[in-house]
């Protein structure tokens, strides 16, 4: 059960309705549940529309920017989701990562907190950046240089911002105990601390 009231469009003030309309305008009705409320972090966004508008815009920019292909963006997102054990984020993005070509064995290893056996060098470099950032907020010189060699400086800014945004999403999901959809299975045991292996 979420710690925030589940708001419907008609419950919102004009600022909240505007954020709702922006969210559904870019993401469609897939973010509205059968109760007529927003799923994932989006209910929090309309609860505090002045922050939610900015977060939603940042999410669009970092997820759909042209710098990182979706395969690598989704890999970074699930790496961050696994670090924080953000169930909803994992549920939403692990399947998208698979659809974009991330192997099931890699996804399973990330969920388990292990080091995946990457066949693709670009996936190895992006995972290393996302994993180190999520663990410590810093990058070792070798990891940074491998990321920069792959993505360039603008690409590294994009990747770091993507990891930061999805860390914020993880915090929103976890702090407000945003539930999974009714038919979804949790990826981790209840009560397992984020970052623990």
Predicted confidence (pLDDT) per residue in 25-48, tens digit: 988 889 999 999 999 999 999 999
pLDDT of residue 2: 87
**Chain centroid offset of residue 159 CA:** 12
The pTM of this model reads 0.93
Say yes or no to pLDDT of 193 above 80.
no
Domain ranges of the chain: 9-62, 68-169
Give yes or no for a contact between 44 and 171, defined as CB atoms under 8 angstroms apart: no
Mention every residue, 6+ apart, whose C-beta is less than 8 A from residue 192.
85
Which 3 state secondary structure label does DSSP give 37? strand
- Using alpha carbons, select from 159, 152, 170 the residue that is nearest to residue 127: 159
Say yes or no to pLDDT of 196 above 60.
no
Mention every residue, 6+ apart, whose C-beta is less than 8 A from residue 60.
26
The total of other beta-carbon atoms located within 10 Å of residue 27's CB is 16
Share of the chain above pLDDT 90, in %: 88
- Helix H or strand E encompassing 73: helix 70-84
pLDDT tens track for 114-160: 999 999 999 999 999 999 999 999 999 999 999 999 999 999 999 99
Bridge partners of 32, per DSSP, are: 38
Fold (CATH) for 68-169: AhpD-like (1.20.1290)
Main-chain dihedrals φ then ψ at residue 192, nearest 5 degrees: -70, 130
């Amino acid at each position: 059960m979420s710690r925030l009231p589940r708001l419907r469009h008609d419950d919102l003030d004009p600022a909240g309705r505007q954020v709702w309309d922006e969210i559904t305008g870019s993401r469609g009705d897939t973010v509205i549940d059968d109760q007529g409320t927003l799923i994932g972090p989006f209910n929090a966004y309309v609860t505090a529309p002045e922050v939610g508008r900015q977060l939603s815009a940042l999410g669009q920019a970092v997820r759909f920017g042209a710098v990182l292909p979706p395969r690598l963006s989704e890999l970074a997102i699930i790496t961050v989701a696994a670090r924080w054990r953000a169930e909803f984020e994992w549920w939403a993005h692990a399947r998208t990562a698979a659809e974009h070509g991330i192997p099931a064995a890699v996804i399973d290893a990330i969920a388990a907190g292990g080091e995946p056996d990457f066949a693709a060098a670009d996936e190895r470099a992006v995972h290393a950046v996302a994993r180190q950032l999520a663990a410590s907020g810093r990058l070792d010189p070798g990891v940074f240089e491998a990321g920069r060699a792959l993505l360039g400086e603008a690409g590294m800014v994009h990747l770091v911002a993507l990891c930061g945004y999805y860390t914020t999403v993880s915090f929103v999901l976890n702090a407000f105990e945003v539930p999974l959809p009714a038919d979804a299975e949790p990826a981790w045991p209840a009560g397992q601390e984020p970052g623990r292996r």
